[in-house]
Amino acid sequence: MARPGKKQVRQTLQAFVVELIVYSLFVIIYFFAVLHFLGQWLVQLEIQHIRTYAVVAILLIIGQAVMLEAVTTGLMRFLRRGRSE
Amino acid sequence: MFFPISHTQINPIYLVVIGFLIGVLGGFFGVGGSFIAGPALRAVGMDWNFAVGTDLAHIVGKSVVAAKRHRALGNVDLRLGLIMAIGTIAGAEVGAQLIQVFKRAGNVNFVVSAVSIVLYLGISIFMICESWKTLAAAKRRKRAGKSSPSHGKADESAFTHMTEAIHRWRIPPMITLPVSGVTISLWLIMFVAFIGGLFSGFLGGGAGYIRMPSMVYILGVPTHLAVGTDLFEIIISASYGTFTHAIKGNVDILIALVMHTGAAIGAQLGAISTQYFAGPKIRLAFVPLPLIGAAIVIYTLLTGHKL
């Protein structure tokens, strides 16, 4: 298995910092927007339609995962292209 | 921040940090990390039932991110993962029923604690010995100037002779898994998945600490592929677990979503890191995880305080 070179480690760290910034922004937006607007609706759903809540819960967590992965992958591609140009 | 579904007051930064730590472990080792998430949620006053259900929901999200990243690295055997998901769900149901049996007998805490201590210590001791032997053999070969028999993601293991002996049980139907590079009895795959599910249902969490090593040593799947495939399989089995817990009112999805924002970045970091480590090194680094699990159970037994 190849050992990472200094350049590779630096690039990985750089990517990590960029991802960290994106995620931090995302978390802040998430707290203020999504959780604020969805919070009450989810509470009501959990009380009144527990099965629908269960399905929505899974869809929400998968949706967030796919979105986060897509955002960071896209961003990393964009940054890499920017470096090579 | 107040989370109205579970009526818990938790600092969201705490959730993000815990999620991040579990994400790194999950991405690197292919485990759910419940042995950390459960106690971490309990520590801030969350009820045990909510801690278990919410942790499962967050595991689904984290596994999606890590499995996608592992898939991009060629570390996921979809066919194996789908077959294993069936066995895992069946095993989890049987494990949950076993819990009920021991609950009725009134000795569930003792039985679960004893089984988990023996299991965690057994896995750790076995993996220390095996990884150590494999790494020592590789060093000897290197000193003698011989090249390693494996290349790329192919794996080395001091346990290979046993894996080969197990593979000689050719009970039909035989399944060929080109991605993992093995042809194996369907029943053996189902057995491994069922045992993983059984411990998941019996001891809680995703039971990655038993499934990942089983995939390597019993099924003969290379370590990198075992990590990636285990994560893919966890998406299905943890989704099922989340649904069953959610309809019992045990899931606070708002907490899971916040935790997942940290877990998502950690999982990617963990998954990418596997590229830089050989299989035996990943397995050796895995050893502390079941030991931490054993330490938590022993602490609970000695103090009576459930973490």
Quote the tokens at residue A26: 């995302």
Q: Looking at CA atoms only, how far is residue A21 from chain B in angstroms?
A: 11
**A71 close to B (CB below 8 A):** no
Q: Looking at CA atoms only, how far is residue B111 from chain A in angstroms?
A: 31
Find all residues with CB under 8 Å of B284, minimum gap 6, and list them: B127, B128, B131, B132, B135
Q: What whole-number percentage of chain B has pLDDT above 90?
A: 7
Which residues in B lie closer than 8 A to residue A54 (C-beta atoms)? 242-243, 246-247, 251
Domain housing B48: 2-303
Weakest-pLDDT range from A6-10, B67-71, B197-201? A6-10
Residue B69 has pLDDT above 60, yes or no: yes
Residue A74 has pLDDT above 70, yes or no: yes
A29-71 pLDDT per residue, tens: 776 777 778 888 999 999 999 999 999 999 999 998 888 888 7
Quote the tokens at residue B29: 């080792």
Which residues in B lie closer than 8 A to residue A34 (C-beta atoms)? 257
**Nearest-Cα residue of chain A relative to residue B55:** A61
CB A55 within 8 A of CB B243: yes
Mind giving me the DSSP string for B75-107? ---HHHHHHHHHHHHHHHHHHHHHHHHHHHHT-
Which range, A26-35, B73-82, B145-154, is most confident?
B73-82
Q: How many C-beta neighbours within 10 Å does residue B304 have?
A: 8
**Would you call A20 and B265 a contact, using CB atoms and an 8 Å cutoff?**
yes
**A43 close to B (CB below 8 A):** yes
Half-sphere exposure of B91 (CA within 13 A, CB side): 27
| Distance from C-alpha of B236 to C-alpha of B77, rounded to nearest angstrom | 14
> Which H/E stretch holds residue A15?
helix A6-29
Q: What are phi and psi of B183, to 5 degrees?
A: -120, 125
A1-35 pLDDT per residue, tens: 445 566 766 776 776 677 677 767 777 777 677 77
| Distance from C-alpha of B268 to C-alpha of B13, rounded to nearest angstrom | 19
**A83 close to B (CB below 8 A):** no
Quote the tokens at residue A27: 């978390």
Q: Looking at CA atoms only, how far is residue A85 from chain B in angstroms?
A: 24
Q: Number of structural domains, chain B? A: 1
Candidates B227, B231, B34, B218; CA nearest to B126 is: B218
| Distance from C-alpha of B209 to C-alpha of A12, rounded to nearest angstrom | 28
pTM, to two decimals:
0.79
Output the 3-class SS for B105-161: HCCHHHHHHHHHHHHHHHHHHHHHHHHHHHHHHHHHHHHCCCCCCCCCCCCCCCCHH
Which residues in B lie closer than 8 A to residue A66 (C-beta atoms)? 64, 68
B256-285 pLDDT per residue, tens: 998 888 888 888 788 777 777 777 777 778
Q: How far is CA B142 from CA B151, B154, B156, in A?
A: 14, 17, 14
